C-alpha cells in the first residue's frame, strides 16, 4: 500500500484571487503535486462532493504519473471568456485574450445581459459568440431568451452552451431554435451515462480534462458521444491548463477554438514558463510551479488541511485501492 505522501509528492495548496467574480468564485484554490511524468493539479470547486471530485483526482494522478499521448499539434487556438462584469470593464477583460476570434459570455438572461453581448461585439465586431447559461433555464425561459437574442443579434452565435439541464427540454429546444446547442454539465455530471442519443439534444460537446477523469478518459468520452468537441477548462492554474492543452493537442480534428485561456481571469498564474496568449493561440508544453509565485499565493494552513482531508477521504473511499491496482497491472 502506497502512503499518500509518496503518491502526492510536494503537495502544495495555492489560493489565487480572481480578477472578477466568476460564478461566485473570488479566490481559486488548487492542490499541486508532481510524479514521474511531471506536475499536476487537483482543483474541483469547493462545493463539489467527494463523489463528483473523484474524476478530478483520477485526472490529477494521470497527469503526474502517465506521459502525455502523441500530440497532433503544438499550438491551440483559444477563445476569450467574458464573465458577468460591469460594461465598462469589458475591454479590460477582453484585452487579456489578445488575438482571440471567439468569445464565450456568461449570461443569466436577455434583459440583464444583452448589453454584455453588445459590448463584446463593440470590442470586436467579428467575434464568434458563445453564450454560456450553465443550465439556468427551463424550456419556456430558454425559448423566450434565445428568441430575443436571435432577434437582436442574428447569426453571430456559434452555439448556446447548456441552456437547460433537463435532457427532455434540450431535445425540444434543439428542434425549435436556429442556433446550435453545446452541452457541458449534461456530460460531466453524468459520466457513466449512455450518450447514444446525444445528437438528439446537442450539436457540440464541451469536454474538460479534469472533470472527465484525464486525457485517456476524455478521449474515450469524445468517441462515445460522437459529437464535435470543444476542449475547455475549469478555471485551472497553468498546471491544469497544460494538461487541457495536451488533450486538445491530442485530437486528430479540432474544429473549434478552445476554452483554455482562463488563467487570464486569475490575478496571477503560478507557473514557469508562463502560458502566454500569442495571436489567439497558446503553445503546448508541460509547466512547473514558480517558487516565488507559489510562496506569494500559498494557501493558509487551515486550507491546506482542508484539501489534505478532501484527498484522503476520496482516496480511502476505495479509489486509492483501485488506482494502485491499475498501476501494478
Residue-wise DSSP of 173-217: HHHH-SS-EEESHHHHT-TTS--TTGGGT-SEEEEEHHHHTSHHH
Choosing from 6, 101, 104, 106, which is the catalytic residue? 106
User: Cβ distance 56 to 30 under 8 Å?
Assistant: no
Choosing from 101, 174, 189, 208, which is the catalytic residue? 208
> Cell numbers at residue 67, please?
506521459
Question: Catalytic: 106?
Answer: yes
Residue found under cell 502506497? 2
Long-range contacts of 249-255 (CB under 8 A, 24+ apart): 249/71, 249/72, 249/73, 249/74, 249/76, 249/284, 250/68, 250/69, 250/70, 250/71, 250/72, 250/215, 250/219, 251/72, 251/219, 251/222, 252/72, 253/228, 254/72, 254/73, 254/76, 254/77, 255/228
CA distance 293 to 298: 8
CA distance 10 to 31: 10
> Cell numbers at residue 21, please?
467574480
Q: How far is CA 176 from CA 27, 100, 147, 184, 259, in A?
A: 39, 30, 10, 20, 27
Of 12, 22, 90, 80, nearest to 291 (Cα)? Answer: 12
Catalytically active residues are 106, 208
Amino acid at each position: 500500500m502506497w502512503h499518500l505522501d509518496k503518491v502526492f509528492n510536494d503537495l502544495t495548496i495555492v489560493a489565487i484571487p480572481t480578477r472578477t467574480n466568476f460564478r461566485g468564485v473570488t479566490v481559486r484554490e488548487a492542490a499541486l503535486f508532481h510524479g514521474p511524468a511531471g506536475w499536476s493539479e487537483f482543483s474541483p470547486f469547493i462545493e463539489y462532493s467527494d463523489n463528483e471530485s473523484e474524476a478530478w483526482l483520477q485526472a490529477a494522478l494521470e497527469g503526474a504519473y502517465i506521459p502525455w499521448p502523441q500530440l497532433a499539434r503544438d499550438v491551440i487556438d483559444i477563445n476569450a471568456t467574458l464573465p458577468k462584469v460591469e460594461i465598462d470593464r469589458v475591454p479590460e477583460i477582453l484585452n487579456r485574450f489578445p488575438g482571440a476570434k471567439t468569445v464565450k459570455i456568461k449570461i443569466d438572461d436577455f434583459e440583464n445581459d444583452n448589453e454584455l453581448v453588445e459590448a463584446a461585439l463593440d470590442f470586436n465586431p467579428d467575434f464568434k459568440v458563445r453564450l454560456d447559461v450553465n443550465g439556468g433555464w427551463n424550456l419556456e425561459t430558454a425559448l423566450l431568451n434565445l428568441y430575443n437574442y436571435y432577434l437582436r443579434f442574428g447569426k453571430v452565435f456559434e452555439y448556446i452552451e447548456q441552456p437547460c439541464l433537463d435532457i427532455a427540454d434540450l431535445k425540444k429546444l434543439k428542434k425549435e431554435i436556429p442556433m446550435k446547442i453545446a452541452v457541458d454539465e449534461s456530460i460531466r455530471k453524468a459520466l457513466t451515462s449512455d450518450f447514444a442519443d446525444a445528437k438528439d439534444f446537442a450539436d457540440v460537446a464541451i469536454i474538460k480534462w479534469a472533470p472527465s477523469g484525464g486525457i485517456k478518459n476524455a478521449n474515450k468520452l469524445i468517441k462515445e458521444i460522437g459529437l464535435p468537441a470543444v476542449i475547455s477548462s475549469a478555471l485551472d492554474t497553468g498546471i491544469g491548463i497544460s494538461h487541457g492543452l495536451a488533450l486538445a493537442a491530442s485530437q486528430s480534428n479540432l474544429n473549434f477554438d478552445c476554452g483554455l485561456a482562463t488563467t487570464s481571469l486569475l490575478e496571477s498564474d503560478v507557473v514557469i514558463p508562463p502560458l502566454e496568449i500569442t495571436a489567439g493561440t497558446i503553445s503546448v508544453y508541460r509547466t512547473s510551479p514558480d517558487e516565488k509565485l507559489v510562496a506569494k499565493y500559498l494557501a493558509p494552513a487551515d486550507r491546506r488541511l482542508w484539501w489534505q482531508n478532501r484527498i484522503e477521504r476520496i482516496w480511502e473511499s476505495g479509489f486509492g485501492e483501485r488506482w494502485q491496482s491499475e498501476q501494478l497491472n
